[in-house]
A and B are shown apart, each in its own frame.
Chain A
């Protein structure tokens, strides 16, 4: 069985050899199986976004190899194997909601009727069918983010890469969007690599939480969560949820201590 994402011994150095050199990632390995939901968590600057951009072929690794669906990231990008969403929804202001969702299909050369149908289908999926003709600036932050997710999923990619997509939303909207995301991913069988700052968010969403630390950026531990797949309102109150939050928090703290220890040498 091919892995959705296979990262092996990857280093990423920015500005190599110059005074402002940054070792963003060092010896990173990560295997994501199809259908899995993975979160990357760690302090600011530990290389979460860098790792996601490497997988997306928006950056090239300095060393090591990356495969997406058994192909090079570049090939996967050209095949639109993945969809992407960022903290900023990044909707195109001059395009209606529907036209925004259609954009990746338009670039792929889909005909008009077909891509319009797909856009409406995606609007149903994110539960905003009545905003089809709205313009982005007429939507709330949460609605914009839903449209961004609909757009990321429009070409039915097998992989969804998300960089703190709910980071700018208020807590209530955020929890609601988390539940929606899980529902959507279950319905579409999508693999997800999800960057977040929030421990509860990582635990609630993920099959496995990847804990990273900075200086140099690396993976310090990978924690299986194993919450009930059909998460509901009760999940956030369950004891296992809290136990896992504690475990991730301790792993994060431990990784900082570990980094300190390295510096002492």
Chain B
């Protein structure tokens, strides 16, 4: 399988370990990810909050760059995924706006590519047994609260599974031997980009999520979004929990025996190494 790959800005900086783990896992599973040459920022919340056209024109540039290669686009960041997927749907279904965006971004939309989240890639596109058969270390004993957040599941038209009760991450975590817990905060909002602007509010939202994960018996949370991961680590002042927060790709890498995962774990603000050691996983 070969895809174009859109890392997005966070994955070059604060969420490096998500980028590196997604690429390493793909490679180990025989999936080729080619980074889109000269990609631009998707505009994220700031573009759609203040400038409707810009919020579609920026992702459109990236779609146009990927059209040349002709492969579907894999996106790890939930926010980038949402912007690219929404743009693709608009260009596909709204001829009037398509014309306008094409003129703004100087390209012709072909509509041949699919926008795929990294979660969907490993959970749905990859044949079921493929991942299981490559597991070197079962992550048994690791009780996980799989946290999906908002932007891979909503709006429902961009979601590849049940938006109210997604289970793709749970399935992947089970395949590598971990034990997902049942909890009802899977798709709550972490406060997203309000983290910097309404920090007190976000502290409250995050504490509730972390505490609910603890109450459900989890010893770690696992995410597929750089903003969720960051907020859950750094905006939990109102919780007493020191529960680590992983990217789901890091845990797959651990199970596949990819040695670099130790470097990624060292980058976390909430250090997960003690937990992993206590379970004899590192």
**A and B associate in one complex:** no
* Contact surface of A with B, Cβ cutoff 8 Å: none
* Contact surface of B with A, Cβ cutoff 8 Å: none
